[in-house]
Amino acid sequence: MEIIDTTLDGVVEIRPPRHGDDRGWFSETYKKHTFRDAGIDIDFVQDNESFSAPAGTLRGLHYQLAPHPQDKLIRVIQGSILDIAVDIRRDSTTFGQHVAVTLTADDGNQLLVPAGFAHGFCTLEADVRVAYKVSGEYSPVCERSIRWDDPDLAIRWTLPAGGPTLSGKDGIAPFLADQPDLF
């Protein structure tokens, strides 16, 4: 397993090895002791999967507060996404900064987004399936979001000419500066 540091402490890209032959390939995408040996000791408690039909579907930027914060391990099982992690730890030297990583089913790469970061992604093609593990169960009371197009974040999303396809909730999320509930 290859672990690639990003510019944000704790956010890493993970590239599990694929073992292939004339039939295709096999890959262990998560193995607790392998991750622990690599310094990633997270107790994942829930697996999620999303499907996005149109290219340009944007989901995020989401996070959960205590007592249900979520570390996330994201991978694409069909298609490709631009995956974003934003540092929302108020005392961090990288507060408000983000990283963007392209995740694809063909590459099999993953992104680890720890609690203390908002997470979002935009589909780069139609019919995309994303799977992710989380360390805290979903809690609507603890769920928060930050506006995807916050000018202070300056995220360069890869969007179609007509703009993103958003949920109603994501379209009205507050800007980072207006968000009282952070880490």
Would you please indicate which residues are annotated as catalytic (active-site) residues? 62, 132
Count CB atoms within 10 A of the CB of residue 44: 17
Q: Alpha-carbon distance 3 to 116, whole Å? A: 20
Contact 41, 30 (CB under 8 A): no
